Amino acid sequence: MYKFINSSSKSKLIPLLSNSILYKSACSSNLVSNSRNEISKKIHKPKNGNGNRVLWGRSGFRSYSSESDRETMNYDVVIVGAGPAGLSAAIKLKQLCQQKDVDLSVCVVEKGAEVGAHILSGNVFEPRALDELVPHWKEEEAPIDVPVTSDNFWLLTENRAFSLPSPFDNKGNYVISLGQLVRWLGQKAEQLGVEIYPGFAASEILCNEHNEVTGIATNDMGVAKDGSRKENYQHGVALKGRVTLLAEGCRGSLSEKLIKKYNLREKGQGQHQTYALGIKEVWEIDADKHQPGYVLHTLGWPLDQKTYGGSFLYHMKDRQVAVGLVVALDYQNPFLNPYEEYQRFKRHPAIRPLLEGGNVLQYGARSLNEGGFQSIPYPVFPGGAIMGCSAGFLNVPKIKGTHTAMKSGMLAAESAFSMLQEGLKMENYWDNLRSSWIWEELYTARNYRPAFEYGLYPGLALSAVEHYILKGRSPVTLNHGKPDHEATREAQLFSPIEYPKPDGVVSFDVPTSLYRSNTNHDHDQPSHLHLKDPTVPENVNLPKYAGPEARYCPARVYEYIPDETGDLKLQINAQNCLHCKACSIKDPKQNFEWTVPEGGGGPGYTIM
């Protein structure tokens, strides 16, 4: 339940009983988070003679020990994140075990309540990596049913749509729900003996005295807002691995720490990462308008010519259509509101008729990497490696990162396996990446995104030359512009943008959308959104940038609310967070630190 209040300047939204946003679990898979009990059961097994707890698991020996006051579980490989990268790595490791007749223990921790609950993507799926990983995926009933039938590319002005030649080549690709594919991959991994723990958030990196990563720790559960322990308190668990693989997706909270700690960006391709925010709904539309496999991308309106981004509209199966807008986070105007831009997009005369008469099944948002080749960090650190979008392998002109995430997971798994079994080095992962098709793809695509630094039309012209004439063989590599947080300019240089009110037909307010994301966090827990300096919002963000976090956050987590003296103060409604990570990227002073909340909270996506 929300109520609007009016201050002198604008209306504000205050959550009154945000726990009315109930989590509606639609678990079709068995990969749900009763696993905390399962872990608890394991660590409460009787102790052996050494005082360590022991258990014979499905896939070999584990030993459990009480390390300080935290229980420890030991694995050969610990993987953080059950997305395409993490699960592909887990599957590949177990396949190699079968081929070589050895056993390695592999576990995957996932912060979503179930595998797939935090997965949000387009998704037009290129099956190249899956063909390599599970060649018989069709016979094994992967949820990949809708081949792309047509590719359309439009340039939008406010009232018109101009068809352009499509630079996309989606022949042989499929329109899917990535969340559903990931659930299927999770089942495959479990069948092979991987232990998957959904509902567990990796909050800490564990290191030994040689500065080598030795695993991760999950955060404590059942801690109240004031720091006291609630009745359901459970201490976090240490999951130690001979190898730790991070697959947290774009802007992974632990991955970013490791990239800084070991200077991996400087050791890699060297440039900073750039990002976009994707806002998406899945609609159910009238049957007579539905064309399974129809793919549309647009550029231009509603975004201004200096803001890079565009929309996607993919017809899935069962009358479902994925509709979204991607807005690059290097936009300059602090009054820009990506959520409202998306609502405007749906009102375009060429889009609205498709959606009218339909209804929204789900809403969500997630950031994506746009830095591409120039921004790849060195992905190996002492004790492990980084895979998928945590390292930034997304191909921007294709708007695809699933196949590269999967392939990088497979390559990391191969290097981890040969390190554990044959004594080779984990560093081989870097060499193997560079001789793989990921490298070739990202190299060819490298100048596309920086070309749009010069604006929409010069960007279109430059990228067309790159794509159609030079075919990626240009002798120069363009640099990215400023990091996204530095790109925001002062509010005094712009006028506030007047967005139309939601019509309740194709455009909606944030609380309505948030309800459709199934987001749920226990309210009585410490906020997972930290301000490094609590004075920056009121002293810098508000006066200088008109409080941009109140607009770029697609879940209205950040609100400036008048206090008793009438001064605007930042209120953080952490329970609404969609885990998109935009705040950790876009805040002008990099003052927001995104950490994991209690495992199992957050969005509950089922078809994203």
Q: Which residues bind ligand FAD (CB under 6 A)?
A: 80-86, 109-112, 118-125, 178, 201-202, 247-250, 252-254, 278, 280, 324, 326, 366, 368, 388-390, 394, 399-403, 405, 596
Q: Of these residues, 97, 107, 250, 583, which one is catalytic?
A: 583
Q: Indicate whether 594 belongs to the interface with ligand SF4 (CB under 6 A).
A: yes
State phi, psi for 350 to the nearest 5 degrees: -90, -10
Let me know if 580 is a catalytic residue: yes
Of these partners, ligand SF4, ligand FAD, none, which one is at the site of residue 553 (CB under 5 to 8 Å by kind)? ligand SF4
Task: Output the smallest distance, CB 159 to ligand SF4, in A.
Answer: 32
Residue number, 315 or 400, with CB nearest to ligand FAD: 400
Of these partners, ligand FAD, ligand SF4, none, which one is at the site of residue 550 (CB under 5 to 8 Å by kind)? none
Amino acid of residue 485: H
Rg (CA), the chain: 23
Of these partners, ligand FAD, ligand SF4, none, which one is at the site of residue 364 (CB under 5 to 8 Å by kind)? none
Residue number, 85 or 510, with CB nearest to ligand FAD: 85
Residue number, 118 or 446, with CB nearest to ligand SF4: 118
Residue number, 537 or 604, with CB nearest to ligand FAD: 604
Distance CA 351, CA 326 (A): 16
Q: Of these residues, 366, 446, 516, 551, which one is catalytic?
A: 366
Q: Quote the DSSP letter at residue 65.
A: E
Task: Output the smallest distance, CB 279 to ligand FAD, in A.
Answer: 7
Residue number, 400 or 579, with CB nearest to ligand SF4: 579
Pair 561, 14: CB distance under 8 Å: yes
Let me know if 389 is a catalytic residue: no
H or E element at residue 352: helix 352-355
Pair 18, 523: CB distance under 8 Å: yes
Tally the C-alpha atoms within 13 A of residue 377's C-alpha that lie toward its C-beta.
Answer: 29
Distance CA 53, CA 50 (A): 8
Task: Output the smallest distance, CB 295 to ligand FAD, in A.
Answer: 9
Let me know if 207 is a catalytic residue: no
Of these partners, ligand FAD, ligand SF4, none, which one is at the site of residue 529 (CB under 5 to 8 Å by kind)? ligand SF4
Neighbours of 505 (CB within 10 A): 14
Among 120, 142, 316, 553, binds ligand SF4 (CB under 6 A): 553
Structure tokens at 501: 């009110």
Burial of 535 (0-12, 13-18, 19+ CB in 10 A): exposed
Among 529, 536, 546, 608, binds ligand SF4 (CB under 6 A): 529
Cα distances (angstroms) measured from residue 583 to each of 331, 372, 546: 14, 21, 15
Q: Of these residues, 97, 107, 250, 580, which one is catalytic?
A: 580
Of these partners, ligand SF4, ligand FAD, none, which one is at the site of residue 583 (CB under 5 to 8 Å by kind)? ligand SF4
Q: Of these residues, 121, 244, 408, 606, which one is catalytic?
A: 121
Residue number, 32 or 424, with CB nearest to ligand FAD: 32
Distance CA 380, CA 382 (A): 7
Neighbours of 24 (CB within 10 A): 11
Q: Quote the DSSP letter at residue 499.
A: P
Let me know if 27 is a catalytic residue: no
Mapped onto helix, strand or coil, the DSSP state of residue 601 is coil
Of these partners, ligand FAD, ligand SF4, none, which one is at the site of residue 376 (CB under 5 to 8 Å by kind)? none
Q: Of these residues, 218, 311, 577, 584, which one is catalytic?
A: 577
Listing DSSP states for 360-383 in one string gives EEEEEEEEEE--GGGGPPP-EETT
Residue number, 449 or 579, with CB nearest to ligand SF4: 579
Distance CA 38, CA 45 (A): 11
H or E element at residue 73: strand 70-80
Let me know if 366 is a catalytic residue: yes
Residue with tokens 């005295």: 209
Distance CA 449, CA 188 (A): 36
| Contact stretch for ligand SF4 (CB under 6 A) within 62-70, 131-139, 472-480, 553-561 | 553-561
Distance CA 37, CA 34 (A): 6
Of these partners, ligand FAD, ligand SF4, none, which one is at the site of residue 400 (CB under 5 to 8 Å by kind)? ligand FAD
Distance CA 337, CA 493 (A): 16
| Contact stretch for ligand SF4 (CB under 6 A) within 267-275, 377-385, 508-516, 552-560 | 552-560
Let me know if 121 is a catalytic residue: yes
| List of residues 6+ apart from 529 with CB closer than 8 A | 557, 572, 574, 577, 583, 592, 593, 594, 595
Of these partners, ligand FAD, ligand SF4, none, which one is at the site of residue 110 (CB under 5 to 8 Å by kind)? ligand FAD
Residue list 554-583, contact with ligand SF4 (CB under 6 A): 554-555, 557, 577-583
Let me know if 553 is a catalytic residue: yes
Residue number, 519 or 541, with CB nearest to ligand FAD: 519
Distance CA 420, CA 435 (A): 22
Of these partners, ligand SF4, ligand FAD, none, which one is at the site of residue 573 (CB under 5 to 8 Å by kind)? none
Q: How many residues bind ligand SF4 (CB under 6 A)?
A: 13
Site string for ligand SF4, 418-457 (x = CB under 6 A): ----------------------------------------
Residue number, 259 or 529, with CB nearest to ligand SF4: 529
Residue number, 109 or 536, with CB nearest to ligand FAD: 109
Distance CA 231, CA 565 (A): 38
Is the N-terminal amide bond of 302 cis, ω within 30° of 0? yes
The residue count of the chain comes to 608
Q: Indicate whether 326 belongs to the interface with ligand SF4 (CB under 6 A).
A: no
Indicate the angle between helix axes 84-100 and 402-422, nearest 10 degrees: 40
Q: Which residues are catalytic?
A: 121, 366, 402, 553, 577, 580, 583
Contact residues for ligand SF4, defined by CB under 6 A? 529, 553-555, 557, 577-583, 594
